[in-house]
Amino acid sequence: MRLLRQFYRIFQINITLVKHGLEEVIFAVHLFRPIRFLLLLMPWHWFRRADISHGVRIRRVLEDLGPIFVKFGQALSTRRDLLLDDIANELAKLQDKVPPFSGEEAKKIIEEAYGKSVTEMFAHFDETPLAAASISQVHPATLHDGTEVVVKVLRPGVHKMVKRDLEVLHLLADLAHRYWADGRRLRPREVVDDYEQTVMDELDLIREAANASMLRRNFEGSSDLYVPEVYWDYCRVNVLVIERIYGIPVSDIKTLKEKGMDMKKLSDRGVHIFFTQVFKHNFFHADMHPGNIFVSHETPENPKYLGVDFGIMGTLSPRDQRYLAENFLAFFNRDYRRVAELHLESGWVPSDTRVDQFESAIRTVCEPIFQRPISQISFGNLLLRLFQTARRFNMEVQPQLVLLQKTLLNIEGLGRQLDPDLDLWKTAKPFLERWMNEQVGPRAFIKGLKDNLPQTLEQLPELPALIHQFLSQQTQVTPAAIEQQKIEIKALNKELKKQRRLSWLVLLSGTLAATAVWYYS
């Protein structure tokens, strides 16, 4: 039954492509190439309106196919170096111009969630949405105390639509894993599994509220980013109420320039926000397309970002975080051998990979892009060469890094729009050097000592009592048990001597810590 449902969805996708005049996509599949000539015999091919561009057709196909496909279009819309202008402009409309559902239906969902009428919950509720996205839409409202808010409401039936398309993605991933030459290396099953978790989390607006609250706390008092306040008493699984913000869409370059925004500082801060989230907070906004980012108009000489839509957030394990930072630094320093070694140490490439060959391949791809502004770099060609290198060395896709890669592409696309001359490397390198110093330098030693000292001191007095308790419980034992006890007692005595030595080490470390604090203060 599930398989039939999946194939039916694939059939729907093909019908949608034909409906919007993109049947050439179907005939581009290897299986159908021999009968491609049939395309010329289709009647609708003769009378197709020439005034509808490919960009419009692609956007309409993605809109008709639903949330999963709309999100795919959103990600593509930031990659103007990979797309024709008309396609990029149309896909950009998916960021905040998805067709809305009716305000009456939104009110019904809200009233079912609260068990009360909209007029009881809000002094004013506007049925006309401010913006509509693939999974939800937002309406302006006012609380009874006069506070201006926005109310985010999940689309009706969105769970069913998402689950249906996820089944299709799982089917395609399984086929790719089995029959595609690069299927095992690219790990499509794991990538889809991770994406499923991300999308299902996005359908829980209580989780989004918690994400927004934590991100707001992380950037409290920051001059880089402002995160609106969450009104917890009004939040439900399918309804989110959050402070209304006023700003200029980051994609509205014309208005930003008219307001006198410092575009260079704005682009630099976007990069700084990204690296702060990833390496300092280890909690990053993973859906930073232009539709979710605004700029405050209050201080154009010192521009500040305003963030919305916190449904997709990412984190990294300490191991991945460390390897990633070291890779970035080695890359910025053009230490390609260290990049190759790190990939081997992390297990991202097979253990039998020759370091010198991998180093040479990385150098060939990356060396041409250094000390050049973004406007002069073809990231499309760079990505293509990197994929070719990855294929050659059987490098596996890391599913846990997919969100980060997507976010980095969004940030790069945003930087390209704001300041084509942005030097990404110059902006990011000092930040990463400070972070690495905090991880392995004197500050890291002091922090580790501070964190572990209370636990060590707490455990020292307990060790003799544990030995006494152990011996008191042994009343009747066999010779074999006595021998085992001797071994265990010997081990305990050894541990006690170790703890005594540790007490001296603690005293010495305390002295070193005091000296280091004095030195760095």
287 catalytic? Reply is yes
Tabulate helix, strand, coil % of the chain (nearest 5): 65, 10, 25
* Residue 490 tokens, joined: 């010997």
Residue in the structure block whose two tokens are 């307001």: 259
Q: CA triplet 243, 244, 248: central angle to 5 degrees?
A: 135
Handedness of CA 46, 50, 52, 55 (dihedral sign): positive
Dist. CA 417–CA 102, nearest whole Å: 34
Dist. CA 5–CA 168, nearest whole Å: 9
Dist. CA 476–CA 163, nearest whole Å: 63
Dist. CA 298–CA 167, nearest whole Å: 46
DSSP 354-419: -HHHHHHHHHHHHGGGTT--GGG--HHHHHHHHHHHHHHTTPPP-GGGHHHHHHHHHHHHHHHHH-
Element (H, E) at 271: helix 263-275
Is-contact 72 406, C-beta < 8 A?
no
Q: Can you state the angle between helices 442-459 and 462-472, rounded to 10 degrees?
A: 40
Number of CB atoms found within 10 A of residue 445's CB = 14
Q: Can you state the angle between helices 462-472 and 479-520, rounded to 10 degrees?
A: 170
Q: CA triplet 275, 349, 313: central angle to 5 degrees?
A: 30
Cα R_g (the chain), whole angstroms: 29
Query: What does DSSP say about strands 225-226 and 305-307: parallel, antiparallel, or unpaired?
Result: parallel
- Of 96, 165, 287, 309, the catalytic one is 287
Q: Quick check: helix, strand or coil at residue 197?
A: helix
- The CA dihedral of 23, 26, 27, 29, to the nearest 10 degrees, is 160
* Residue 466 tokens, joined: 């544990």
Query: What residues act catalytically?
Result: 287
